[in-house]
Amino acid sequence: MIALLLIAKIALTVSLAVVAKSDAVSGVDQRVDLSGVYAQPAEAVGRELSFYVQFDGLQEEWNPFGTGFAAQSHLRARVWSDSQRLWDRFDFSNPRGEVFVRLGTRAARTLVGAQRYQRLLCVGKVRNLRCGRPWIDVTRVYVARHSVSEGSLLHVIRGAELHARKAYSMARDEYARAITTDLPKAVRQDLRGFIEACYSK
């Protein structure tokens, strides 16, 4: 009986968390890709937006000049946009953007606890546009259900290397090993496309 009550309590907690996340973004102006915000930043100024990012890391020391934020009050995080593919050398070397989160908030605690490559749903506003860049004040951060793990990323990179060497059967196996239920849908589709490309050779 106790076990059943515990299971029910856990299920209710998960259900409420999902509802809370849904409610939190329901009134947001628009769901966007971060790359689009950087491509046309003027259109996003002052609007509350939600967007997925892939976490790279926190910048421990940074110059606040021109950002509109202060190191004493905000965290600064490097992120890849959701459309960037981490196995692509150029994308990996060039995280698309940066977000700022006020210290002492739940969003800041989520960022501090985030792992590299972890996918996060952010809600925030482009507070200003300086030096041609949008400076985004994120007020809410949620850990996404699906992310690209380091293990999957390594399999895709190996697969790409084998593919380039025309070792198509081995490349196909690496791509297949990279596919897990934890991957975002778009990434799984990409990998299935790579596998089909190997079969066509």
Confidence of residue 145 (pLDDT cuts 50, 70, 90): very high
Handedness of CA 145, 189, 99, 125 (dihedral sign): negative
Phi-psi region of 131 (alpha: psi -120 to 50; beta: other; left: phi over 0): left
Q: Phi and psi at residue 147, in whole multiples of 5°? A: -145, 165
Answer whether 111's CB lies under 8 Å from 104's CB: no
Residues 6 or more apart whose CB falls under 8 angstroms from that of 126 comprise 37, 41, 44, 45, 46, 47, 49, 134, 135, 136, 137
Residues 61-72: tens digit of each pLDDT: 888 887 889 899
Confidence of residue 89 (pLDDT cuts 50, 70, 90): very high
Task: Return the closest-CA partner of residue 150 out of 118, 108, 124, 114.
Answer: 118
Answer whether 130's CB lies under 8 Å from 111's CB: no
Spans of all domains in the chain: 28-143, 150-199
Three-state SS at 112: helix
* Span 140-160, average pLDDT: 97
Distance (Å, whole) CA 120 – CA 52? 6
Residues 44-55: tens digit of each pLDDT: 998 899 999 999
Q: Which CATH class is domain 28-143?
A: mainly beta
* Span 73-89, average pLDDT: 96
Within 52-167, residue ranges assigned H as helices are 89-93, 106-112, 150-164
Distance (Å, whole) CA 136 – CA 13? 31
* Span 100-124, average pLDDT: 97
